[in-house]
A and B are shown apart, each in its own frame.
Chain A
């Protein structure tokens, strides 16, 4: 896959996507696969760039690095200081290392979404600040595709009631507990917070010793409007998929919305909103709809399910 974009006078090309790795063993395998793709390899580039670009060779080369390391400002500066002809290969830590370990070539060939090569062409040569801007633009896009809705670390300052969060893409936020949109709905006051091991939630401990999982994505949306917008679109698409399948099921039975509404007692407006992906049906609503369609809930869910 090749995606080109204009950035002022500079142009960059995201050549292809593949799969990201973390372990050194797999990393070597990936580098081997890249070599076979004739992209070249320079072991010392990453180290030299981290030292401010000293010793970085000119010419087309491949940098293998961990995107989590370079997404920070220091990493961006180091990359921007490197030669403009460098092709950046950014490895992202994922849970798919094992898969890649088995077949790195295939993983690369599949043009998957978890491995990135960014090549700055000659037009991108120029000041370090320009290159930094260009890289930032791409990193933002890449980071979006990483794990912004995972929490790496969390802590709660009971003294000032501030929740400190660090997300999977490196974003750090400190937010007043009372400022979180769901805080008022929760009948407890946290005294401690910690990221769950898998990063999908933050475990809050209340003053009474109770523990509560707060979804990391919900936290991200609460502190990051851009992520909230992205997540909103994703969730809308999910609702639309389920709603469309429900509509097809109803239509396959030759029933109108009005008829199903009459039979089920579910207001037609609600049914319309569910079918159009604007509302999540509750279980009791599904029970009513299933009965109106002449089936039980498992059969209705099977019709909505992917397989």
Chain B
């Protein structure tokens, strides 16, 4: 696989900064987002869960890391699994303060 050049990556990032979120999708009432500036490990944020809840999901394990013990509904987990690769790809555009790779 050919790795993106610096210019290509920079262009992608510039596109992001032009007003597009790194990742944002809505599944019914649930909004899945990856923030433009965040810390690792790769993760996404969910809001609009039943009861108005929010959650943080690790993109590698698809585990809910916060709040601890929360189990997502099967449809939401299925959608996250379907979009896992895209979200991991999008994570490369996140400005992190702790990325080690």
Contacts and interface: CB of A to CB of B under 8 A. Distances in A.
Nearest to A237: B65
A95 B56 CA distance: 14
Contacts of B65: 234, 238
A282 B48 CA distance: 28
Interface in B2-59: 3, 14, 17-19, 21, 33, 35-42, 45, 47-54, 56, 58
B19 A280 contact: no
Give chain B's interface secondary structure class: loop
Nearest to A149: B66
Given A200-B54, A287-B1, A305 B101 contact: no
A13 to B, nearest CB: 23
B40 to A, nearest CB: 5
B53 A95 contact: yes
Contacts of B63: 241, 305-306
A10 to B, nearest CB: 30
A232 B62 CA distance: 19
A31 to B, nearest CB: 21
Contacts of B98: 232, 235
Interface size class of B (residues with CB under 8 A): 35 or more
Given A245-B61, A279-B100, A221 B39 contact: yes
Contacts, number: 139
A242 B63 CA distance: 10
Interface residues of A, number: 58
A206 B88 CA distance: 26
A252 interface: no
A198 B39 contact: no
A146 B37 CA distance: 22
Contact of B60 (A97, A99, A242): A242
A108 interface: no
Most central of B14, B37, B49 by chain A CB within 10 Å = B37
B101 A283 contact: no
Contact of A306 (B18, B42, B62): B62
B51 A301 contact: no
Interface string A193-222: 000011111000010011111110110011
Given A182-B97, A185-B95, A297 B61 contact: no
Contacts of B40: 235, 239, 280
Nearest to A283: B88
Contacts of A113: 68
Contacts of A200: 33, 35, 45, 47, 54, 56
A55 interface: no
29 contacts: A95-B52, A96-B53, A97-B51, A187-B14, A198-B45, A200-B54, A206-B17, A209-B19, A210-B18, A214-B37, A215-B39, A215-B45, A218-B38, A221-B39, A221-B97, A222-B97, A241-B63, A242-B41, A242-B61, A270-B101, A280-B60, A282-B91, A282-B92, A284-B3, A301-B60, A304-B61, A305-B61, A305-B63, A306-B62
Interface of B: 1, 3, 14, 17-19, 21, 33, 35-42, 45, 47-54, 56, 58, 60-63, 65, 67-68, 81, 84-85, 88-89, 91-92, 95-101
Give 10 closest A-B pairs by Cβ, nearest first.
Answer: A95-B53, A98-B51, A198-B47, A215-B38, A213-B35, A215-B35, A210-B19, A283-B88, A242-B60, A212-B36
Given A206-B17, A238-B58, A286-B88, 13 more contacts: A98-B50, A198-B47, A200-B33, A212-B36, A214-B36, A215-B35, A215-B45, A218-B39, A218-B97, A285-B101, A301-B60, A305-B61, A306-B62
